[in-house]
Amino acid sequence: MEIKLKYGLNPHQKFARLVVEREPSPLKVHNGTPGYINLLDLLGAWQVARELKLATGLPGAASFKHVSPAGAAIARPLDEAFRLSQFIPEGEELSPVATAYARARGADRLCSFGDIAAVSDVVDVSLAKLIAREVSDGLIAPGYEPEALEILKAKQGGRYLAIEIDPAYEPPELEYRDAFGFRLEQTRNTARITRDLLKTVVSQKKDIPEAAALSLLVCSVALKFTQSNSVGLAYDGQVIGMGAGQQSRVHCVRLACGKADKWFLQSHPRVLDLKFKKGLGRPEKTNVVDAYLLWDELAEAERQWLLDQLDTAPKPLSREERLDWVKRFDGIVCSSDAFFPFRDSIDRLSRTNVQYAMQPGGSARDEDVTAAADQYGMVMVHSGLRLFLH
């Protein structure tokens, strides 16, 4: 089977197609015309969603942008603060697969703007209605309820991508990549993220509660399909900060922690009490919240723009208030796709109240890094599994 694509990575790369050498095709396009990047994101997101379910037994979801997950999560109940912070109407009933998507999408709302999403389970009406009001470009799933599919077909003037994939499909053992006229071949990464990775605890503190173990699994699945270097933070079975594609590990950590800090602060009472000007849509409200949480970094013109979007001028959160709020949350975890070469990453993780960290180990400074974890009362796990993706 062959599907003509809109274009390649850029509009001037005119020729682009998808070739499926297996019959019947494991991929079915129900709606829309995918592009080259769309398909890379669709296939990456699907792998995250399905492996989340394999690792945890719960419905999984992923939100992808530019071949890395902006968010990933498993199905868990949504508390009132989360609903308020994500502008989900009170009383709206969501199925388990819809809650997984809401949590994946809510990990990083700025990065998920115009995302490609994936879910491990059949798309139902509650999920379709949730997606219908988001700025999203496509979805891949193992199936669609008829009414749910009709809802999605009406999105974006009928252009929304609705893709179905055979959940039993497994790719060949060997994978190929052409680069500058040369072909590279390797066995694909079939390593499974399981609880066996949590067995080697090298810190003085050893206990890993069930909720933290689930979060470590979720975060590590997401890392497996994130462009390296990468470090992720997770909480309650949901990625809340992904630092992807950085050349140094500490920059991955700083990026992930900054996103996680903002995720926690979205539920701060002062944030939830922001009075938006009438008529602001969900994306605009998201930008306002983000700007408010960056108040100290804003130029005068940016602050004025922010104030113009609100009915009343808010009091900015101080550094101490931010730190105190994040310290309220128990069970924050970190996973890294390769070892921590220095303790600087652990020092930064401690400021975001990370209590459990997993990495492959194998650095010449493992003892120094573990000593830093012990200093902060952090549990440190050596998984022995590197998860680079390039």
Q: What is 249-294 written as a DSSP string?
A: HHHHHHHHHHHHHHHHHTTSHHHHT--BPTT--HHHHHHHHHHHHT
Closest alpha carbon to 82 in 281, 310, 238? 238
- SS3 state at 121: coil
The whole-number pLDDT of residue 112 equals 93
Per-residue pLDDT, averaged over 302-307, amounts to: 96
Closest alpha carbon to 110 in 295, 283, 261, 252? 283
Per-residue pLDDT, averaged over 87-103, amounts to: 92
- Asked if residue 304 and residue 260 are part of one domain, the reply reads no
Q: Is the pLDDT of residue 290 over 90?
A: yes
- Asked if residue 153 and residue 73 are part of one domain, the reply reads yes
Let me know if residue 183 belongs to a domain: no
d(CA 169, CA 142): 10
Let me know if residue 105 belongs to a domain: yes
Per-residue pLDDT, averaged over 197-205, amounts to: 98
**Strand-pair partners of 185:** 176
Whether residue 390 lies in the annotated active site = yes
The whole-number pLDDT of residue 90 equals 79
The CATH number given to whatever domain includes residue 304 is 1.10.287
Task: Supply the mean pLDDT for the chain.
Answer: 95
Q: Is the pLDDT of residue 266 over 90?
A: yes
The CATH number given to whatever domain includes residue 210 is 3.40.140.20
Confidence label for 181 from pLDDT (cuts 50, 70 and 90): very high
Secondary element (H or E) of residue 115: strand 115-119
Q: Is the pLDDT of residue 261 over 90?
A: yes
d(CA 54, CA 300): 49
The whole-number pLDDT of residue 339 equals 97
Whether residue 65 lies in the annotated active site = yes
Let me know if residue 67 belongs to a domain: yes
Which of 31, 53, 155, 229 is flagged as catalytic? 229
Whether residue 30 lies in the annotated active site = no
Confidence label for 91 from pLDDT (cuts 50, 70 and 90): confident
The whole-number pLDDT of residue 303 equals 96
d(CA 65, CA 30): 21
12-21, 43-52, 196-205: lowest mean pLDDT where? Answer: 12-21
- Asked if residue 149 and residue 253 are part of one domain, the reply reads no
Let me know if residue 75 belongs to a domain: yes
- Asked if residue 86 and residue 32 are part of one domain, the reply reads yes
Let me know if residue 177 belongs to a domain: no
Q: Total domain count for the chain?
A: 3
210: alpha, beta or left? (left if phi > 0; alpha if psi -120 to 50): alpha
The whole-number pLDDT of residue 3 equals 86
- Asked if residue 83 and residue 50 are part of one domain, the reply reads yes
Let me know if residue 178 belongs to a domain: no
The whole-number pLDDT of residue 327 equals 96
Which of 12, 278, 315, 390 is flagged as catalytic? 390
Q: Is the pLDDT of residue 153 over 90?
A: yes
- Asked if residue 121 and residue 11 are part of one domain, the reply reads yes
Let me know if residue 129 belongs to a domain: yes
- Asked if residue 80 and residue 7 are part of one domain, the reply reads yes
The residue among 165, 184, 210 that closes a domain is: 165
* Burial degree of 32 (CB within 10 A; 0-12, 13-18, 19+): buried
Whether residue 12 lies in the annotated active site = no
- Asked if residue 243 and residue 98 are part of one domain, the reply reads no
- Asked if residue 329 and residue 311 are part of one domain, the reply reads no
Which of 66, 205, 251, 285 is flagged as catalytic? 66
- Asked if residue 157 and residue 119 are part of one domain, the reply reads yes
Domain residue limits at 201: 193-265+325-382
Let me know if residue 202 belongs to a domain: yes
Which of 65, 259, 268, 382 is flagged as catalytic? 65
- Asked if residue 378 and residue 247 are part of one domain, the reply reads yes
**Strand-pair partners of 357:** 334, 380
Residue 356, token pair as written in the block: 């459990």
pLDDT in tens, 36-86: 999 999 999 999 999 999 999 999 999 999 999 999 999 999 999 999 999
- Asked if residue 128 and residue 227 are part of one domain, the reply reads no
